[in-house]
Structure 1
Amino acid sequence: MTAAARRAEAPTKPAPPFPWEEAMAFGFGALRLSSAGFWSLTPRELAAAAEGVHGRRPPEPLGRGALSDLIRAFPDFPPPHAGD
C-alpha cells in the first residue's frame, strides 16, 4: 500500500468550530474595530492582529492520543505483508 493510500484511509477528526465569541471579543474589545471593520477582516488578518498584540505563541504540544494517531497514519516502515 502506498503512503498516499495509507493517508487516505487514516481516520480524520472534524476541525473544531471557529471561536467566533473570542474573535469578536478581541476584534471589538482589544482592537476597537467597528462591525464593518471586523467583518471585512479575513481569519488570517485577524490572526496576524492577535499575534501583533499578544506575540507569537508556541504551538500546543501533541497529546498522547494525537501522537498515536500520527504514528498509525504515517508509520516509519510499511506494515509487513501477510505472507511474510
Structure 2
Amino acid sequence: MPAFGSEPVAFPWEDAMALGLSILRWSPETFWRATPRELMAAGQGLLGGRTVEPAVSGDLRRLMEAFPDE
C-alpha cells in the first residue's frame, strides 16, 4: 500500500487480464464483472489459499548463501 502522500500507483491491468483471461480462463464477461478483490481471491485459490509475500531485506543474501554460484 502506498505511504500517505505518495503518488498513486496505476492498477496493473495487463497482469489482471493475464490472470483472469489466460490463467483462470474466465470469459471476458466474467472478468469484467469481477471486482479486483474477487480476482485476487481467485488467484490466491490457485496457490491453495496461500498468499505470496514480497521479498524482504536479507532474502537475497540468504539465498546466495544457501545456493552459491560455483
Q: TM-score, normalised by structure 2?
A: 0.64
2:17 and 2:7 map into 1 onto residues whose CA distance is 23
Alignment gaps of 5+ in structure 1: 1-10, 63-84
Q: How many residues align?
A: 53
More RCO (CA 8 Å, sep 6+): 1
Output the aligned Cα RMSD: 2.1
Computing the radius of gyration over CA atoms, which structure comes out larger, 1 or 2? Answer: 1
1:46 and 1:15 map into 2 onto residues whose CA distance is 21
Alignment gaps of 5+ in structure 2: 58-70
Q: What does the per-residue CA deviation read over 1:13-57, in whole Å, with 9 as the maximum and x for residues that have no partner?
A: 122110000100110111101110000000000010111113311
1:31 and 1:41 map into 2 onto residues whose CA distance is 12
Identity level (%): 42
Q: TM-score, normalised by structure 1?
A: 0.54
Question: Which residue pairs with 1:21 in the alignment?
Answer: 14
